[in-house]
Amino acid sequence: MKKIKSVKDVVAWRLCVGCGACVSICPEKKVKLIDVIDEGLRPYQINNNCDNCQECLKVCPGYQNILPNSSSIKNFNDNLEKTWGPLLEIWEGYASDPEIRYQGSSGGVVTALSLYCLERENVAGIIHTGAKAENSWENKTYISQNRIDLLKHNGSRYAPASPCDRLSDIETMSGAYVFIGKPCDISGAFRSQEIRPLLKKKIVLMVGIFCAGTPATRGTLDLLKKYQLNPAEISEIRYRGNGWPGEMTITNKKQGIDSIVRISYRESWGNLQKYRPFRCYLCPDSTSEFADIACGDPWYREIDVNAQGYSLILVRTERGQKILHKAVKAGYLKLLPTKGDVLKKSQQNLLVKRQEIWGRLTVLRLFGIPIPYYQGFHLFYIWWKTDLKTKFRTIFGTLKRIILRKYYRPLPDTNLIDKNIMI
């Protein structure tokens, strides 16, 4: 199998997740992110004089993911651990504040919990993702310090995001912080804390968001094209929210007049999900297993045009458990306990993907194609328990993709592909 020696190799073999951890961790600030519109946010070296310290690989979730041993956690739910990761509690609920609940992609729990930390836990800021002011189909990492900024940048963003690129900033800033991100972002932040002790002290809570994959920028641009919308005239894109699950709303400013194009969640995600990069199909961590608290949608509920949002909340650590309970007691959240079968009914597609990972990785390994290193995810156990049809599908489906899409070849050096890059 070919060896991964740098983040350049991670990108070349389609393993990068675009979290931005390498940007923050590089001691000489030689790594910058670019948006390869058919792949996602990807790192490249500002110059080629890298001293090969490999600090970037130590924090790269595209390269390896090692779950900490959770057996020492009190009241640990070992019945669900093999399929959903470490679990202490499962809740379902929503933000007590009607505005936060309405704007949220599901029940507004992530925003309400963040607000609680700002107002009651003396947290200095919330590291999270929002739309760029100049190009609303692209994302930017923000550090919000009040309710207004939180609401301005809340909601799901089905486009490349890199919240770990601000980790180095908080090392020089005062106070403590809450970090919000996708599973790969949480993993990148977790690994960064292991080699930067100050980050472990600075980040007092990590909140993860369930993720079925991150569409490349091309997905949104093609959707705009389908509706005959000019990106230069778009002033705002909101992928979800304002009800559950919420429509995709695109504000088009043409000749000084605003018009709003509305696209159903089913149609928007149905188009965008086709642009998920290869690496997303190799990720077993769809529910943020490195986080203190993880949130997602209770898809078992019937979708109604007037539905009020609910969130599924997975408590993974004692630190997360303590803060969540305090937020409920302070009146920021309204929650009810729920069970593992609700989680399974709500996120069946994520479970199916996890069941297929080991077969995909095995075929890639047989071809000598570099793959991520995983520890603690029980991938063979889960794959082996599937039916014969699933086993054949994962093996021969992956084999077909390798041949047709030439995954046995690395991508060209992103430093040289100017035509495919939006900086």
Domain chopping of the chain, boundaries: 7-66+350-392+406-422, 81-213+272-349, 217-269
3-state secondary structure the chain: CCCCCCHHHHHHCCCCCCCCHHHHHCCCCCEEEEEECCCEEEEEECCCCCCCCCHHHHHCCCCEEECCCCCCCCCCCCCCHHHHCCCCEEEEEEECCHHHHHHCCCCCHHHHHHHHHHHHCCEEEEEEEEECCCCCCCEEEEEECCHHHHHHCCCCCCCCCCHHHHHHHHCCCCCEEEEEECHHHHHHHHHHHHHCHHHHHHEEEEEEECCCCCCCHHHHHHHHHHCCCCHHHEEEEECCECCCCECEEEEEEECCEEEEEEECHHHHHHHHHHHCCHHHHHCCCCCCCCCCEEEECCCCCCCCCCCCCCEEEEECCHHHHHHHHHHHHCCCEEEEECCHHHHHHHCHHHHHHHHHHHHHHHHHHHCCCCCCEEECCCHHHHHHCCCHHHHHHHHHHHHHHHHHCCCCCCCCCHHHCHHHEEC
pLDDT score at 307? 82
pLDDT score at 162? 97
pLDDT score at 255? 66
pLDDT score at 350? 96
pLDDT per position in the chain (423 positions), as tens? 688 988 889 999 999 999 999 999 998 888 999 999 999 999 987 766 666 778 899 999 999 999 987 655 666 666 788 899 999 999 999 999 999 999 999 999 999 999 999 999 999 999 999 999 989 999 999 999 999 999 999 999 999 999 999 999 999 999 999 999 999 999 999 999 999 999 999 999 999 999 999 999 999 999 999 999 999 999 999 999 999 999 999 999 876 677 899 999 999 999 999 999 999 999 999 999 999 999 999 999 988 877 889 999 999 999 999 999 999 999 999 999 999 999 999 999 999 999 999 999 999 999 999 999 999 999 999 999 999 999 999 999 999 999 999 999 998 875 444 444 443
